[in-house]
Amino acid sequence: MLFGKECKTTVKFTFRGGTHLNEHKETATLPTVRLPEPRTVSIPLSQHIGAHATPTVAVGDKVLVGQVIGTVEQGLGCPVHASVSGTVKEIVTRHNAQGIPIQNIVIENDGERTLHPSVKPWGKPLAQTAPSEIIEIVRKAGISGLGGATFPTYAKLQSALGKVDTVIVNCAECEPYITANHRLLLERGETVITGLEIVMHALSVTEGIIAVEDNKPDAIALLQKAVGDNPNIRVCVVKTKYPQGDERQLIYAIKHREIPAGKLPADVGCVVINAETLSAISRAFYRGIPLVSRIVTVTGDCIKNPQNVRAPLGTPYSELIEFCGGLVKTPKKIVSGGPMMGQAQWDIHAPVTKGTSAILVFSEEYDRINTYHSACIHCGNCVTHCPMHLMPNYLAQYAQARRYDDAAKMNVMSCVECGTCTYNCPAGVQIVQYIRVAKGALRMKK
Ligand code: SF4
Ligand code: SF4
């Protein structure tokens, strides 16, 4: 038997390549706390892949929690909701972390947390709810992947209809420092399971697998107890290794199915959904609450009291940092997300969005940019560790020489930008940065 109780101790599902990183999961033992109401929130009208939303409110309007404040009429995208109750103070264009100008709706919080009348549970039992109705509930709730990829979840479900036999819950949380999913599993694990049941029902799937890395034994034990004798849902323990949370690696580790280049998980019969995303689906279905808040791990050597905080979307990073005791050192780098795939921020007042799994604040001590680097010494470390079986050394060299077509021939577009190659390079070559340049240039040519 490969799953269930036995895999807790005996089986370590894994993939080829990758690397074990220093985990720094110190916040895993601390309960999640709710942020007291922020003074204002600034909610971007684009927080995920797809079209920007158009505002449906005007300056001076009173809004309530869960009220739609932006909609996408055409194309890929879902509505944006007010995360606090209060008054729309301004609608302003601000640059996001990628330097893209995005309209933001700024709401002055009245501190009342008054729910909009549209926030009410879906009335029908799950068994009597059609797949199309579930997909619409997910779309209307504005749910997108909360693991960082932020792809609209309704579109993921729609494209998987009739094509998949397995739903995998991604609880790997393989990036160092981030423990938001771990705490969710310990504190609200039942909502992850009910969210999984909703998705399995929507996709008519009878196999649900909850994949957890073996560095979370407490969460594994709780989940196994909660799943009990359910014949359709199993807990699978995967080896703690980066990037185990990448859906391609997770599918290979558990099902031994390889996704061909250019294809999606649904093409090999799987759909992978992050644990917090499933919890949000459960809240939307059973309580009618759209995606208006998320858990953020606030940590790094500059933070006085690192912890997990549930914060309304749109909360400025600065308010979360202040809530965590403020800064004890001069910050050199602020990262949104994990240290491997997260994005450096230039604005400490940037808002929490659906993709903000963590806010990491590091001092100069932790900054690797200025460490020694030289030309490639052909050691092959990057090739050994690349989980996508690429030749990162050649890809970097082609990118440096602007030979982007040669990089394309070597499958540069299959790179998931996990940074494992850069991390393991003894010469300090910024491989993944060169690869990003090559990918960007190739996309521009299309
Ligand atoms: S080449 Fe891409 S996929 Fe391979 S290790 Fe480097 S960043 Fe990761
Ligand atoms: S790890 Fe660095 S030095 Fe070694 S082959 Fe790759 S790019 Fe070259």
Output the six-digit token pair for 377: 């010494």
Confidence of residue 51 (pLDDT cuts 50, 70, 90): confident
Task: Calculate mean pLDDT across residues 262-289.
Answer: 97
The backbone torsions φ and ψ at residue 134, rounded to the nearest 5 degrees and listed phi first, read -65, -45
Kindly report the number of other CB atoms within 10 A of residue 73's CB atom: 8
| Ligand at shortest distance from the CA of 430 | 2
Q: Which residues contact 152 (CB under 8 A, 6 or more apart)?
A: 48, 49, 50, 76, 77, 78, 139, 143, 144
Residue nearest to atom 5 of ligand 1 (CA): 386
Probe ligand 1: pick from 383, 390, 398, 425, max atoms within 8 Å of CB? 390
Q: Distance of CA 77 to CAs 51, 117, 142, 184, Å? A: 5, 23, 8, 26
Radius of gyration of the chain (CA): 21
Higher pLDDT, 3 or 209: 209
The alpha carbon of 418 and the centre of ligand 1 are apart by a number of angstroms equal to 5
The alpha carbon of 247 and the centre of ligand 2 are apart by a number of angstroms equal to 26
Encoded amino acid at 254, one letter: I
- The reported pLDDT for the residue numbered 47 is 83
Q: Say yes or no: domain 40-109 is CATH 2.40.50.
A: yes
Q: Where are the beta strands (DSSP E) in 82-203?
A: 86-95, 101-109, 166-171
Question: Are the CB atoms for 27 and 176 separated by under 8 Å?
Answer: no
Query: Taking the C-alpha atoms of 194, 197, 201 and 203 in order, what is their torsion angle to the nearest 10 degrees?
Result: 120
5 pLDDT exceeds 80?
no
Confidence of residue 368 (pLDDT cuts 50, 70, 90): low
pLDDT digits (tens, 9 = 90+) for 378-396: 999 999 999 999 999 999 9
Alpha helix positions (H), 229-380: 247-255, 275-287, 317-323
Q: Where are the domains of the chain?
A: 4-30+121-287, 40-109, 295-366, 381-445
List 362's β-bridge partners, or say none: 333
Confidence of residue 1 (pLDDT cuts 50, 70, 90): very low
Residue nearest to atom 3 of ligand 1 (CA): 415
Nearest to 84 by CA among 356, 314, 283, 289: 314
49 pLDDT exceeds 80?
no
Helix %, strand %, coil % of the chain (to 5):
30, 20, 45
Class of domain 4-30+121-287: alpha beta
CATH number of the domain located at residue range(s) 295-366 in this protein: 3.10.20.600
Q: What is the mean pLDDT of the chain?
A: 93
Question: Are the CB atoms for 147 and 276 separated by under 8 Å?
Answer: yes
Could you report how far apart the first and last alpha carbons of the chain are, in Å?
48
pLDDT digits (tens, 9 = 90+) for 88-129: 999 999 988 777 889 999 999 999 999 999 999 999 999 999
Q: Say how far apart CA 296 and CA 307 lie, in whole Å.
A: 8
Q: Say how far apart CA 353 and CA 263 lie, in whole Å.
A: 28
Residue 163 DSSP class:
T
Residue 8 DSSP class:
G
pTM: 0.94
The backbone torsions φ and ψ at residue 132, rounded to the nearest 5 degrees and listed phi first, read -65, -35
